[in-house]
């Protein structure tokens, strides 16, 4: 009887923990999040590789801001995209596009994107947007290291938040 009560309590406790868990933890499996890849360079190969790993991948139609690997060198990370998924997608993306240098959690500058963007990692964002947001270049090795070291998604977000803090330019520094 005692054992049954104990077990019941444990089951209930587990259910409560799962019920209260953040949605991203529940959606950690590949199928619930999307990888978008800008149509530059070897985007098809990257898409095929990630599809093979079970991820939902799309290569949207080109627009005038989809230019080449050098200009499309940003990765927009949806805030709900799980760490495990980023640990797979970002290294593959870096292999595919050696020019990737901006890594940004969408919403970190106060943007309020549509909900679908929160569940999407976009590879090949425009450098124009990165410069408008005053993002900082993050060395690929540092990014890969941070991915490995991050204890959880929040830690990775915090790392990216710190790395992307706007650096005052020369003019701003000169102001009294």
Partner 1 sequence: MRKLFAALTCLAMLLALSVPAAMAGKVPVDKTAPTTTASPLGGTFTSAVTVTLSVNEAATTYYTTNGTTPTTGSAVYSAPLTFSATTTLKYFSKDTAGNLETVKSQTYTISGGGGTTTHATLTWSGYSMCSTCHTSQAQAMYQGVHYQWKGSAAEMTTGPTTQGKMDATDGSSALNAYCINIQGNWGPCGACHAGTGAKPVATANPSAAQLASIDCLMCHADATNAPYSRVRNATTGLFEPAAGLDMNLVVQKAGQKPTRKNCLGCHAKAGGGDAVKRGDIALASGTTSDVLYDTHMAMGNGGNIQCQGCHTFTGHRVAGRGSDLRPEDSTLEVTCSTSACHPTKTTATGHVTAAVNDHISRIACQTCHINKYAKNANDTANTEATETNRNWQVAEWNATLNRYEPMPTKANDLIPKYAFWNGTSWGNNAFNAAVLDPATNAYQISRPVGAITDPVGTKLYPFKYKTANQALANGKVVTISTATFFATGNYDQAVKDGMVYMGLPSTTAYSTVTTDELQVLNHQVPPATGNVLACAACHPNASATQLKLITNMGYGLKAAQSVVCGQCHTVKSYSGDYVSFHGRHVDTRGNDCSWCHSFSRPEKGLKMP
Encoded tokens for 51: 């599809």
Site membership for partner 1, residue 106 (CB under 8 A): yes
Among residues 133, 144, 157, 158, the one that binds partner 1 under rule CB under 8 A = 133
Among residues 10, 131, 154, 155, the one that binds partner 1 under rule CB under 8 A = 131
The residue count of the chain comes to 176
Site membership for partner 1, residue 32 (CB under 8 A): no
Find the shortest distance in angstroms from Cβ 2 to partner 1.
Answer: 56
Site membership for partner 1, residue 33 (CB under 8 A): no
Q: Find the part of the chain contacting partner 1 (CB under 8 A) among 2-10, 47-55, 56-64, 86-94.
A: 56-64
Phi, psi (degrees; rounded to nearest 5) at 146: -65, -35
Q: Which of residues 61-90 bind partner 1 (CB under 8 A)?
A: 63-68, 70-74, 76
Among residues 125, 153, 156, 163, the one that binds partner 1 under rule CB under 8 A = 125
CB neighbour burial string for 68-88, b if at least 16 within 10 angstroms, e if fewer: ebebbbbbbbbebbbbebbeb
Our CB check for partner 1 shows the closer of 1 and 61 to be: 61
What ranges make up the beta strands (E) of the chain?
34-37, 56-58, 74-77, 102-105, 120-125
Q: Which residue has the tokens 């990775």?
A: 156
Encoded tokens for 98: 């050696």
The Cα 79–Cα 108 span in angstroms is 9
Radius of gyration of the chain (CA): 19
Residue 21 Cα distances to 9, 27, 41, 63, angstroms: 18, 11, 39, 38
Count of residues near partner 1 by CB under 8 A:
40
Q: Find the part of the chain contacting partner 1 (CB under 8 A) among 3-11, 16-24, 127-135, 147-155.
A: 127-135
Among residues 33, 80, 90, 104, the one that binds partner 1 under rule CB under 8 A = 104
Residues in contact with partner 1 by the rule CB under 8 A: 36, 38, 60, 63-68, 70-74, 76, 99, 101-102, 104, 106, 109-114, 117, 120, 122, 124-133, 137
């Amino acid at each position: 009887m005692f054992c049954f009560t104990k077990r019941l309590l444990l089951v209930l406790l587990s259910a409560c923990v799962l019920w209260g868990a953040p949605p991203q933890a529940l959606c950690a499996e590949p199928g619930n999040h999307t990888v978008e890849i800008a149509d530059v360079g070897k985007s098809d190969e990257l898409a095929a590789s990630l599809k093979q790993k079970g991820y939902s991948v799309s290569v949207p139609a080109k627009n005038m801001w989809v230019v080449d690997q050098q200009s499309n060198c940003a990765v927009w990370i949806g805030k709900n995209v799980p760490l495990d998924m980023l640990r797979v997608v970002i290294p593959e993306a870096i292999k595919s596009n050696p020019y990737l240098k901006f890594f940004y959690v969408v919403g970190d500058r106060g943007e309020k994107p549509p909900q679908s963007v929160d569940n999407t990692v976009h590879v090949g964002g425009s450098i124009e947007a990165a410069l408008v947001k005053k993002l900082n270049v993050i060395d690929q090795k540092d990014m890969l290291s941070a991915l490995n070291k991050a204890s959880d998604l929040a830690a990775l977000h915090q790392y990216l938040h710190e790395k992307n803090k706007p650096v005052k330019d020369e003019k701003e520094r000169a102001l009294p």
